[in-house]
Amino acid sequence: MNSKTKSSSFLEIYQTEIAPQLQCLDIILKSMDEPLNATEASEALYITEVEVKDIMRHLNISVIDRKAFLKIMNVASSPICRLYQRERDIGSPHVYTQEEISYIYAIPIDTINQVCEDLGLIELTAYTLPDLFSRVNMQPADFTRY
């Protein structure tokens, strides 16, 4: 099978693409002693420096501290920021609905419903998501959809 058409589980995508980015953002937020400059913020958020400066101007942010960093994340355009925004939109519950998982991770609801039925999953939590994600197959071209 050609590697360009080989599908992967969403768990692989989550572990290799999403989780490292989330961990990096978490570390930045927890360890930020000094304000970031626009270049550092752009690298952390996977957006351009121009976008950071435009957001700062639009939101009247002069210094990128923790609070400002989150405000920028709330409107930035990168996939990881959009994922964060969708999670924030639903309020980060401890138990998710199938629709919420579909929305947060941009996975078709039919796929989520079928996998949940196949696995007999009723509650979706941080503990059951790896099982769910391991059964959701995606093409490499879909990797940046989140």
Taking only the tens place, the pLDDT of each residue in 2-43 is: 444 566 899 998 999 899 999 999 999 999 889 999 999 999
Cα-based distances in Å from 5 to 2, 106, 107, 110, 137 = 6, 20, 18, 22, 12
Taking only the tens place, the pLDDT of each residue in 90-110 is: 997 899 999 999 999 999 999
- pLDDT band for 146, please (50, 70, 90 cuts): low
Handedness of CA 127, 139, 141, 99 (dihedral sign): negative
> What is the spatial distance between Cα 138 and Cα 132, in angstroms, rounded to a whole number?
13
What is the per-residue pLDDT for 17? Answer: 87
In one letter, which amino acid is 55? I
- Domain-wise residue ranges, the chain: 8-142
Report the candidate in 78, 63, 62 with the shortest Cα–Cα distance to residue 24: 78
Q: Residue holding tokens 């550092």?
A: 40
- Using a CB cutoff of 8 Å and minimum separation of 24, what contacts does 49-56 make? 51/76, 51/77, 52/76
pLDDT > 60? residue 52:
yes
* N-term to C-term CA, the chain: 25
- pLDDT band for 143, please (50, 70, 90 cuts): low
What is the per-residue pLDDT for 138? Answer: 77
Identify the bridge partners of residue 64 per DSSP, sorted by sequence position.
36
> What is the spatial distance between Cα 124 and Cα 46, in angstroms, rounded to a whole number?
29
